Structure 1
Amino acid sequence: MGKSKTQQSQQDVPPPLPEPLPRPVADSHTHMDMQGRTPQESVELAASVNVTTLVQVGCDVPSSEFAVAQAAAFASVHATVALHPNEAPRLVLGDIDAWAGRDKHREPGGITALEGALARIEELAGRPEVVGIGETGLDYFRTGPEGVAAQQESFRRHIALAKRVGKALVIHDRDAHADVLRILREEGAPDRVVFHCYSGDAAMARECAEAGYYLSFAGPVTFKANEELRAALRAAPMERVLVETDAPFLTPVPYRGRPNAPYLIPLTVRSMAETLAMDLTELCEALDANTRRVFELV
């Protein structure tokens, strides 16, 4: 049975403000350009619950330019720039029936289009507002076998760029754990690597920690069925753990399915504290320190 109009309208309503956190915390990965409010509103709402640092993430050239502009406008916002894993095959092959509805019917541009986009990302990467290269990586959920080569080439190029500019690498890894880890080994990972919206198991968390990678946990760690993800959180060394929204996606419980935003970070942090049996204030302080370390924020 389909949802009623009332149910549908309730799903569109932003959740209420949660109780503020006792210490400042950063949202290590958000998309304010998709959240239906102005960046200033997003920043102010987040600050009202002690989410005082936002990392605005680029997924293509326009959103990367947007990220840089917001980081220039707000002291609490920092930018990352990149081509999302699904953007590379879209540029090369055309419509891959992806990717958040962006330019779905754009004609394929081939290697020239990919090269042009990568060149613009490299221009932006040198800006002082940019603290990371991402989100890049691999996504085998939305892109089929025909797009794998373009994704992997784009990922390798982003790894090289992160090393050239000395900034953190922010990885999107969906249904591609083994290949992501393999390519990082083959290329040689940058000094600072973040697995955004970590989705692996506890064994992979330990492998990532041994390699020095950071793991960022989002709303799914609060979902009742995701005990394996909570086991991964418990397996990760606290000095390697971050928190994020990936807003407007992946809203934590009890508002799953409704619009996500940085101001909802407290829900995820409190759930993480419960999972870890850890004092909330101590967790906030660790999460904020980790974010500042990995992105070299002052």
Structure 2
Amino acid sequence: MTLVDSHCHLDRLDLAAHGGSLDAALAAARSRGVGRFLCIGVSADNAAAVRRLAETYDDVYCSIGVHPLDLEPGSEPVLDWLLRELDHPRVVAIGETGLDYHYQPEAAALQQAGFRLHLEAARQTGKPVIVHTREARADTLAMLAEADLPQAGVLHCFTEDWDMARTALDMGYYISLSGIVTFRNAEALREVARRVPADRLLVETDAPYLAPVPHRGKPNLPEYVRDVAEFLAGVRGVSFETLAAQTTANFHRLFPLTTPLEK
């Protein structure tokens, strides 16, 4: 059964475990059943790098965007730049974008302006948006509701409560869960994981960050998305094969520019 790592940073991986080789790291993930990778843009500086990776590997796609913590006053992305970067067949999504008040509450206005710009690009291109949100629940939901995008997107590496998940789901968004769901103190998140509808769930690593148990404390790798999926299958009371099939189908429905995996 084939899996998708729906959110990873291939240009930032710690490749020591694979002799410094990205080819080896991707091969290790494929050997564990991972058949698609979505490599995420986080800044203007890495846009070319993620696009190059998507052009190099048939099973890698990418997104383009500026992470809220990468925004700097006076150097905000402009809509024309973003639209040009998105105009590429291997760029299947916008982001990651969103709001992060945990680290930079003082930058709320700047982050909101950046988020609004990405949402407008999503409206103009029809590509789904990848949303980062941390300690910005009300503002994130209000801006998503204001944008009212027909194609929606995903709240990635979800760590919020069920009320936020339910509201986002009602707006058409998907929920993606990372290795955090395996952490000992994440019972509230596991309750969310039990309740997300099967047709709205994605799995990810967010590699090189947030390695799941039993790899916690090590650099995260795309191959570990299998550990996340196996754990989630247990939490939801379904077989691994069922969860893999569901999340893979969801990925291709949300990101229709990707080529579906052969069954």
Corresponding residue number in structure 2 for 1:41? 24
Shift of 1:39: 3.3
Q: Does 1:25 align with 2:21?
A: no
Q: For 1:135 and 1:115, how far apart are their aligned partners in 2?
A: 13
| Residue-pair matches, total | 253
Q: Deviations over 1:157-206 (max 9, x none)?
A: 00010111111100000111111000111222341310000111122222
Of 114, 117, 122, the match for 1:154: 114
Contact 2:66-2:77 at 8 Å conserved across structures? no
Tell me: CA distance 1:210–1:144, structure 2 relative to 1, closer, same or farther (3 Å): closer
Give aligned-pair identity as a percent.
Answer: 34
Corresponding residue number in structure 1 for 2:99? 138
Of 187, 197, 205, the match for 2:157: 197
Q: For 1:215 and 1:133, how far apart are their aligned partners in 2?
A: 16
Contact 2:128-2:151 at 8 Å conserved across structures? yes
**Unaligned 5+ residue runs, structure 1?**
1-22, 93-109
Corresponding residue number in structure 2 for 1:230? 190
Of 211, 221, 227, the match for 1:251: 211
Counterpart residue type for residue 24 of structure 1: T
Q: For 1:75 and 1:60, how far apart are their aligned partners in 2?
A: 23
Q: For 2:255 and 2:77, how far apart are their aligned partners in 1?
A: 26
Corresponding residue number in structure 2 for 1:289? 249
Q: Deviations over 1:201-230 (max 9, x none)?
A: 122222222211100000010111111101
Tell me: CA distance 1:217–1:66, structure 2 relative to 1, closer, same or farther (3 Å): same
Contact 1:68-1:130 at 8 Å conserved across structures? yes
Q: Which of the pair has more CA radius of gyration?
A: 1
Counterpart residue type for residue 232 of structure 2: M
Counterpart residue type for residue 148 of structure 1: A
Contact 1:26-1:244 at 8 Å conserved across structures? yes
Shift of 1:255: 1.6
Q: For 1:248 and 1:183, how far apart are their aligned partners in 2?
A: 29
Q: Does 1:114 align with 2:76?
A: yes
Q: For 1:39 and 1:152, how far apart are their aligned partners in 2?
A: 35
Shift of 1:73: 0.8
Q: For 1:184 and 1:175, how far apart are their aligned partners in 2?
A: 15
Of 69, 72, 78, the match for 1:86: 69
Q: For 1:59 and 1:52, how far apart are their aligned partners in 2?
A: 23
Contact 2:7-2:40 at 8 Å conserved across structures? yes
Counterpart residue type for residue 74 of structure 1: Y
Counterpart residue type for residue 54 of structure 1: F
What secondary structure sits across from 2:50 in the alignment?
A: helix
Contact 2:152-2:171 at 8 Å conserved across structures? no
Q: For 1:115 and 1:167, how far apart are their aligned partners in 2?
A: 18
Shift of 1:62: 2.1
Counterpart residue type for residue 213 of structure 1: Y
Tell me: CA distance 1:254–1:202, structure 2 relative to 1, closer, same or farther (3 Å): same
RMSD in angstroms over aligned alpha carbons? 1.3
Contact 2:145-2:171 at 8 Å conserved across structures? no
Q: For 2:30 and 2:162, how far apart are their aligned partners in 1?
A: 32
TM-score when normalising by structure 1: 0.82
What secondary structure sits across from 2:36 in the alignment?
A: strand
Of 39, 42, 48, the match for 1:56: 39
Counterpart residue type for residue 129 of structure 1: R
What secondary structure sits across from 2:151 in the alignment?
A: coil
Q: For 1:268 and 1:133, how far apart are their aligned partners in 2?
A: 24
Contact 1:32-1:42 at 8 Å conserved across structures? no
Shift of 1:144: 2.8
Counterpart residue type for residue 160 of structure 2: G
Corresponding residue number in structure 1 for 2:177? 217
TM-score when normalising by structure 2: 0.93
Corresponding residue number in structure 2 for 1:15? none
**Unaligned 5+ residue runs, structure 2?**
16-20
Shift of 1:115: 4.2
Q: For 2:147 and 2:42, how far apart are their aligned partners in 1?
A: 22
